[in-house]
C-alpha cells in the first residue's frame, strides 16, 4: 500500500548505488572493455541499478501516515480547547474573541493552551493515576496532547519535516511503529522521574524518529558514502535539542527516553540488505548473506536491550519506584537551576477560604495570597488562580 516502483536514495547522503552510475565512464580508452562488462551484467539480470529496482527496501513510498498523525494531533488539540472552555471555567482568558476556544491566561499557560486540569482530564501523563488508578493508557494518550499552540506547532513542523522523508524511504508500517513505540518509551522514562507534574506532547515520539535516523546509518553502513558528515550533523541536531530540554517546563526525560528507544528500534526496524548482497543478488555464483555479521549482531543486541528496557521500566513504574531516589543527579538532565529560574516542579498547591462572595487563596509553595470576588467558583477557576499565585 502506498508503494511506488521508482528508486530512491536513503534519506541522508548518497549511496553506493549512485557510484555505480559512473562505473563505466571513467576511462575513454577502456570503452570496449566497459561495453563487455555491461553486456555481462545484462546477461546476469541487469546492472546494479536495474537489479536494485526489484529490491523492496529501495523503493519510494507515498507518505500518508505522518500527515494523518499531524491531523490527529491538531484535532485532539481542538477538542481539548473545546473541553477547556476557558470563559466558563476560568474567566481569565487570553484571546477572548475565540470564545469557547480561547486560551488560559498567559500567566497560567504561556504556551497558549488549556489548563493543566483539562490536560489531566483529557489523558495527560499523571503518574499517580497510572500507578494507583490503573490508568496505564495514559502512557500512550499523553503523546497526542499538547500544552499549547506553540508546543503543537514546534512538534508538528518537526514531525512533518523528518517523518515524511522517513516514511517515503521505509514505508508507513515501520515508521508508524517507530513513532508510536518511541513515544511509549519516552513516557515510561518521564513517569519514572517526573513524579508530580502532568506531562504531554509528541516530543518523545519525534525524538524517536531522530534516534532511528542515526541508528539506520550505522546498521546500513555499507550503502552510504558520506556517513561521517551525516552522523556529525545528526548528533549536533540532537545535542542542541536535548540542550534546550534543560530549560524549566520542558520534559527532557521524554525526549531522552524517546530518542534512546528510537535509536535501538532503528537497528531492528530499519535494517537493509548490505551493498554486497544487492550487487550480487542475481549473480549465478554463490552470493553473500542478505545481512552481514555486524548487522545481525546489532539487530540482536538492540532487540534484547529494548525488551529489557520495557520490562524493567514497566515493572519499576507499576511498583511505584521513584527514579530520583536511585539517581541523585538525574534531575539535572531535565532542568538545570540558575539565578534566572527555578526547577521546582511541584504542582501548585493552595488553601482556599470562601466567605460569601469573597474567595481567599494562599499558595503553599511561596506564601502568596490573593482575594477575589467570586460566587461559587468552579474547580478549574480556583486551580487557575492557584497556578498564577504560585508562579
Place of cell 473541553: 83
- Spatial distance between the Cα atoms of 72 and 252, rounded to a whole number of angstroms: 23
Coil, strand, or helix at residue 200?
coil
Set 102, 105, 190, 203: catalytic member: 203
User: SS3 for 225?
Assistant: coil
Residue for grid cell 513505540: 181
Q: Is 203 a catalytic residue?
A: yes
377 Rama class: left (phi>0) / alpha (psi -120 to 50) / beta: beta
| Alpha helices (H) in the chain, listed in sequence order | 16-20, 31-43, 48-52, 65-84, 86-89, 116-122, 127-132, 138-141, 149-170, 172-193, 203-219, 227-244, 252-269, 275-279, 293-318, 323-326, 379-390
Q: Are 104 and 91 in contact (CB under 8 A)?
A: no
Give the strands of the sheet with 358-363, arranged side by side. Answer: 350-355, 358-363, 369-373
Q: Which residues share a beta bridge with 59?
A: 7
CA 170 to chain centre: 17
Q: Nearest Cα to 242, choosing from 230, 217, 227, 259?
A: 259
Please pick, among 255, 274, 302, 331, the residue that the annotation labels catalytic: 255
Q: Which of 159, 155, 73, 146 is nearest to 103 (CA)?
A: 146
Q: Decide if 80 contacts 119 (C-beta within 8 A).
A: yes
Q: What is the rounded distance in angstroms from the CA atom of residue 202 to the CA atom of residue 179?
A: 9
- 3-state secondary structure at position 236: helix
Owner of C-alpha cell 570496449? 32
Does the annotation count 151 as an active-site position? no
Catalytic positions:
203, 255
Amino acid at each position: 500500500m502506498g508503494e511506488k516502483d521508482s528508486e530512491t536514495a536513503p534519506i541522508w547522503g548518497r549511496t553506493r548505488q549512485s557510484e555505480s552510475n559512473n562505473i563505466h565512464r571513467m576511462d575513454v580508452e577502456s570503452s570496449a572493455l566497459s561495453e563487455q562488462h555491461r553486456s555481462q551484467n545484462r546477461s546476469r539480470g541487469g546492472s546494479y541499478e536495474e537489479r536494485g529496482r526489484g529490491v523492496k527496501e529501495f523503493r519510494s513510498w507515498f507518505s500518508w501516515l505522518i500527515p494523518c498523525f499531524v491531523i490527529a494531533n491538531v484535532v485532539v488539540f481542538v477538542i481539548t480547547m473545546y473541553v477547556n472552555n476557558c470563559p466558563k471555567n476560568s474567566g481569565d482568558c487570553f484571546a477572548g474573541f475565540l470564545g469557547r476556544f480561547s486560551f488560559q491566561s498567559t500567566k497560567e499557560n504561556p504556551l497558549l493552551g488549556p489548563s493543566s486540569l483539562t490536560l489531566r482530564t483529557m489523558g495527560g501523563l499523571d503518574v499517580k493515576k497510572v500507578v494507583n488508578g490503573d490508568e496505564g493508557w495514559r502512557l500512550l494518550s499523553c503523546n497526542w496532547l499538547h500544552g499549547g499552540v506553540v508546543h503543537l506547532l514546534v512538534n508538528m513542523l518537526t514531525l512533518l519535516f523528518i517523518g515524511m522523508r522517513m516514511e517515503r524511504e521505509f514505508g508507513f508500517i515501520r515508521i508508524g511503529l517507530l513513532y508510536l513505540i518511541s513515544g511509549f518509551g519516552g513516557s515510561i522514562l518521564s513517569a519514572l522521574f517526573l513524579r508530580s507534574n502532568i506531562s504531554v506532547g509528541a516530543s518523545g515520539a519525534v525524538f524517536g524518529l531522530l534516534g532511528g535516523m542515526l541508528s539506520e546509518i550505522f546498521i546500513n553502513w555499507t550503502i552510504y558514502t558520506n556517513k561521517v558528515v551525516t552522523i556529525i550533523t545528526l548528533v549536533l541536531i540532537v545535542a542542541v535539542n536535548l540542550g534546550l530540554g534543560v530549560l524549566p517546563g520542558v520534559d527532557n526525560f521524554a525526549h531522552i527516553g524517546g530518542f534512546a528507544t528510537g535509536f535501538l528500534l532503528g537497528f531492528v526496524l530499519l535494517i537493509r540488505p548490505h551493498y554486497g548482497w544487492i550487487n550480487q543478488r542475481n549473480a549465478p555464483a554463490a552470493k553473500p548473506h542478505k545481512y552481514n555479521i555486524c548487522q545481525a549482531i546489532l539487530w540482536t543486541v538492540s532487540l534484547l536491550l529494548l525488551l529489557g528496557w520495557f520490562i524493567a521500566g514497566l515493572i519499576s513504574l507499576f511498583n511505584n519506584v521513584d527514579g530520583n531516589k536511585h539517581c541523585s543527579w538525574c534531575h539535572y538532565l531535565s532542568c538545570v537551576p540558575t539565578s534566572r529560574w527555578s526547577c521546582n516542579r511541584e504542582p501548585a498547591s493552595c488553601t482556599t477560604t470562601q466567605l460569601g462572595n469573597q474567595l481567599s487563596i494562599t499558595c503553599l509553595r511561596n506564601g502568596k495570597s490573593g482575594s477575589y470576588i467570586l460566587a461559587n467558583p468552579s474547580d478549574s477557576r480556583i486551580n487557575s488562580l492557584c497556578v498564577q499565585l504560585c508562579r
